[in-house]
Amino acid sequence: MDTYPIAAQSLEKHYHINGSQLERHYKEHLSDFKTWEAAEHAQEWLVFPENIGSKLSIDETSLSNGELYTIVTNKSAKGKKGALVAIVEGTSSEKVIEVLEKISEAKLNQVEEITLDMADSMRKIARSCFPCASRVIDRFHVQKLAYDALQEMRIAHRWDAINQETEAMEQAKLSGKKHIAQTLENGDTRKQLLARSRYLLFKSADKWTDKQKHRAKLLFELYPDIKKAYSLHIL
């Protein structure tokens, strides 16, 4: 277990032992946990200056029970051994800066590029701790913003379609007529078209099914602003 991390629980069925007891004994007696210098603050922060490289990433993630941690990693390690540079409980820029400043200035100045999201706190950390590094916005966060904006546009049009249909139903009721919803050539009403177009807007056009292609054609003809937004975010 010293060279390849596995859960003690996984040894139970192979060696007919109590996994929980082995885990406890390993932690308390076999490992160096009792004398680990970082034990006092390990739940709040850890730093590994030896893992720092020229290209880093900084992001926040939830590890357990919804609690957020700020994590700095070495991109060249690709998530494997030596990737973790620092992990800090919470997302407070002041706290993260305080922890990162435990790394020598010479090592911090070695960083040439840092990838981050668009949060002000992340920019503050990068600017303060890595003054020599170019800041690169994570493509995932940019794409997510574009996707969210496109979906908000679709939802706004759907609410308009719902309100128009509700008004048409009220008018039909007042005039003593039966309301018949207008349908498009594929059988969708406008509100159905907008609702059923949600998933096709997440995909590139070459991955659409034949039905999605037809639905997209109708959607873009009726709502050219959605077509324009889709063409911009899919690039």
Examine the domain organization and report whether 156 and 225 are in the same domain: yes
Examine the domain organization and report whether 161 and 98 are in the same domain: no
Q: What does the pLDDT read at residue 234?
A: 66
Q: What does the pLDDT read at residue 55?
A: 95
Distances, alpha carbon 174 to alpha carbons 41, 178, 180, in Å:
71, 10, 14
Q: Which residue has the tokens 């997302």?
A: 91
Residue 67: strand pairing partners: 64
> How many structural domains compose the chain?
3
Q: What does the pLDDT read at residue 20?
A: 82
Examine the domain organization and report whether 124 and 182 are in the same domain: no
Examine the domain organization and report whether 130 and 152 are in the same domain: no
Structural domain including 192 reads 140-233
CA dist., res. 52 & res. 176, Å (int): 75
The H or E element spanning position 42 is none
Examine the domain organization and report whether 131 and 178 are in the same domain: no
Tokens of 139: 């493509």
Strand order in the sheet with 134-137: 45-47, 84-89, 67-74, 55-64, 113-116, 134-137
The H or E element spanning position 45 is strand 45-47
Given 102, 118, 137, which residue is the final one in a domain?
A: 137
Examine the domain organization and report whether 85 and 147 are in the same domain: no
Examine the domain organization and report whether 68 and 116 are in the same domain: yes
Number of Cβ within 10 Å of residue 122's Cβ equals 24
Given 107, 137, 167, which residue is the final one in a domain?
A: 137
Examine the domain organization and report whether 45 and 93 are in the same domain: yes
Examine the domain organization and report whether 145 and 197 are in the same domain: yes
Q: What does the pLDDT read at residue 1?
A: 43
Examine the domain organization and report whether 146 and 126 are in the same domain: no
By the 8 A CB rule, do 56 and 72 touch?
Answer: yes
What is the bridge-based pairing of β-strands 67-74 and 55-64? Answer: antiparallel
**pTM to 2 decimal places:** 0.62
Examine the domain organization and report whether 83 and 107 are in the same domain: yes
Q: Which of 195, 196, 170, 193 is nearest to 182 (CA)?
A: 193
Examine the domain organization and report whether 68 and 3 are in the same domain: no
pLDDT along the chain (235 residues), means of 10: 66 78 78 78 91 93 83 91 93 94 94 90 93 87 84 95 92 88 92 94 91 95 94 73
Q: What does the pLDDT read at residue 17?
A: 79
Residue 40, SS3 per DSSP: coil
Given 103, 137, 171, which residue is the final one in a domain?
A: 137
